[in-house]
Amino acid sequence: MLLDVAVIGGGPAGLAAALVLGRSRKRTALFDGGTPRNATAAYIGGFVTQDRIAPASFRHTAHEDLRAYPSVDLHLDTMVDRIERAGAKFRILASGAEYTARRVLLATGMIDEPIPLPGSRELWGTSLFQCPYCHGYEVADRPLAFLAPEPGEAPWVQLLRSWSRDVMLFTNASVEVEPACRVALAEASIPIEERRIIGLARTGRQLTGIVVDGNVTIPRSALFFRPVQRQAPVVAGLALALDDRNYVRVGEDDYETSIRGIHAAGDLMTHYHGALAAAAAGSKAAHSINHGLTVDLVGQGLL
């Protein structure tokens, strides 16, 4: 079967795009590899009408919405291995099967590299977070920490003051804080801990402290950090044009990548990450895809 659109990725961007395309009566296949980026998080924060919903519940509800549209097929737990040009169309190779699509929308998000600290995997999504807008409210008024990955990121710790007066910057003995930043943090009474982190103290999946050289434990309830990120293999394999932060370059209005007919939406094309923002981008990209595709099909006498 020839697809109008293959949506690669089943997070908020892909789900929102598939909904728009289903309502536009385009033959759409949504491929979801089954390993969501927020799988370990207890909830999604800040999504209007869905605030604090569990990620699995969010996806289940979205799948039920999409099943109401006969032109949308869900391929759950199906990993797309490769995308190839096939004339004016695209060949999608996924879990041993082959599909052909007129357009492709990449909505794979980004892959977060684990923070290089002992015990971090067990705390990711419950006490170790990337986004305070998603998770800051639930740890408000507790002792918070920010781990700076590079000097330019150190001032970011001030943002945590929105949620707690007790915030601290950690450098893990690997980041030299710039003098102007030191002055600003001192004036704001934000301490800087520059010793090497040797462990994370926890009770179950709850962080209780950060252990630094000398076996000193500094009480903290949550640690925020900016992880190193990389594109999903299927995206990297396309050799698309990327910006200087390794996000996929897209057109401002049409979300088209450097390969004509392949579009991208969500976290893989912007540093501004969040479920609601990703869903909005997916919806906007789908509108553009449907418009261009419809014009083409009408011109070919197929609509």
**What DSSP state is assigned to residue 117?**
S
| Average pLDDT of span 285-300 | 98
Q: What percent of the chain has pLDDT over 70?
A: 100
Q: How many residues does the chain have?
A: 303
* 301 Cβ contact list (under 8 Å, min separation 6): none
- Minimal CA–CA distance to 120: which of 213, 225, 200, 206? 200
Residue-range domain boundaries for the chain: 2-111+228-299, 114-225
| Average pLDDT of span 155-171 | 97
> How far apart (Å, rounded) are the C-alpha atoms in residues 19 and 68?
10
For 44, the token pair is: 């999604």
CATH superfamily of 2-111+228-299: FAD/NAD(P)-binding domain (3.50.50.60)
The class (CATH top level) of 114-225 is alpha beta
Whether the predicted pLDDT of 230 surpasses 90? yes
| pLDDT tens track for 60-114 | 999 999 999 999 999 999 999 999 999 999 999 999 999 999 999 999 999 999 8
> How far apart (Å, rounded) are the C-alpha atoms in residues 227 and 153?
12
Confidence bin at 56 (pLDDT 50/70/90): very high
> How far apart (Å, rounded) are the C-alpha atoms in residues 298 and 227?
45
- CA atoms within 13 A of residue 113's CA, in its CB half-sphere: 9
- Minimal CA–CA distance to 205: which of 39, 36, 41? 41
Helix (H) or strand (E) holding 81: strand 80-86
> How far apart (Å, rounded) are the C-alpha atoms in residues 35 and 56?
11
Tell me, what amino acid is at 302? L
> How far apart (Å, rounded) are the C-alpha atoms in residues 109 and 251?
17
Q: Is the separation of the CB atoms in 288 and 253 below 8 Å?
A: yes
* Residue located via tokens 């011109």: 299
Do the first three CATH levels of 2-111+228-299 and 114-225 match, i.e. the same topology?
Answer: yes
| Average pLDDT of span 156-180 | 96
Surface-to-core class of residue 165, CB atoms within 10 Å of its CB (0-12 exposed, 13-18 middle, 19+ buried): exposed
pTM of the shown model: 0.95
